[in-house]
Structure 1
Amino acid sequence: MQIDSAFTTGLQGYQRAEQRVDDASTAIARATLTPSEPQAAPGEITEELIHLKLGELQAGASAKVIQTASDMLGSLIDIRV
């Protein structure tokens, strides 16, 4: 396993999570604040809240991948010095 690929994978996962959270929060805001259209069905908002939570969990998991890759790199540097 290459450390660079672990960092890259973690970063890409974090960016996808960030996009998911952004999309879900935009959809929630649009569904609840659009005065010209009827209010969104509760199921639609619930689905977006689920996407919001999934984004949070995905970001946490990706942060752990980045932290683990950083720890591995630190261990390798300590061993070689």
Structure 2
Amino acid sequence: MDIGSATTQALHGMQRSQGELVRSAQDIARLNAPVVQPSAGQSASELQVVEPLVNLERQQQIFDSNARVIKTADEMLGNLIDTTV
């Protein structure tokens, strides 16, 4: 995989993660009316908020990983330019 391809894939991954982050945040913001029946010791809003919160964390990690790919590709490109000049 070349540097341009890695950067492009990482940018697409960041865009997908950003969309998922927005969707999860909207899901959390919409938690006004309980839809599921809570089990003992849990309220409906606690149950509803778990999945979007987990998705927020997962997408943040994916976003950060893609950002590290871009940073690494940038550093590699800089090193290549430095060695050829």
Given candidates 34, 46, 65, the residue that maps to 1:39 is 34
Matches within 5 A, 1:1-81: 1-31=1-31, 34=32, 38-40=33-35, 41=44, 42-81=46-85
Deviation of 1:22 (Å): 0.3
Identical-residue share of aligned pairs (%):
37
CA distance in 2, matches of 1:43, 1:3: 43
Bigger CA radius of gyration: 2
TM-score computed with the length of structure 1 as normaliser? 0.86
Which segments of 5 or more consecutive residues in structure 1 lack a partner in the other structure?
Answer: none
Deviation of 1:55 (Å): 1.1
CA distance in 1, matches of 2:66, 2:47: 28
Aligned-residue Cα RMSD (Å) equals 1.2
Report the AA paired with residue 82 of structure 2: D
Aligned residues: 76
Which segments of 5 or more consecutive residues in structure 2 lack a partner in the other structure?
Answer: 36-43
TM-score computed with the length of structure 2 as normaliser? 0.83
